[in-house]
Amino acid sequence: MLGLGALLLVEPVLAQQEVLLKDSDSEAIAIEYRSDAATVDTAKFPKYAKGQTCRSCSLYVEEKGASTGACGIVFGKSVEAKGWCSAWEKKPG
C-alpha cells in the first residue's frame, strides 16, 4: 500500500528536477551566458559592468533563497543567480 503511494509521489518530483543551463549549451553560447559573472571577459564584453548578475536582471525570476532561477529568454532550463549574459537588463527599482 505504502509502496504505490510513495511511487506516485516520487514520480512528479523527479519530473520537476531542475536542469541548469551550462556555458557550453548552444542557447547559452547564443546569448554569451556565463554561469559565473566573475568570469566574464571584460575585453570581449565591454557592456558588462561589475555587479551585473542574473539576480539583478529584469528577466530573472527568483525563487526565494535559491541560488538559481528562471530566465525570461531561456526555456526549460534554470540559470545561476550569479550568472550573466549579453542580454542583461537592469531590474527596475
Residue 40 is a binding residue for ligand SF4 (CB under 6 A): no
Grouping H, G, I as helix, E, B as strand and the rest as coil, residue 49 is: coil
Distance CA 21, CA 39 (A): 16
Contact segment (CB under 6 A) with ligand SF4 among 2-10, 11-19, 40-48, 57-65 equals 57-65
Residue 33 is a binding residue for ligand SF4 (CB under 6 A): yes
Give, as ranges, the residues between 72 and 91 that touch ligand SF4 (CB under 6 A): 73-74, 79, 83-85, 87-88
Residue 48 is a binding residue for ligand SF4 (CB under 6 A): no
Closer to ligand SF4 by Cβ: residue 31 or 45: 31
Q: For 1-93, where are the E strands, in sequence order?
A: 60-62, 68-71, 74-80
26: left (phi over 0), alpha (psi -120 to 50) or beta: alpha
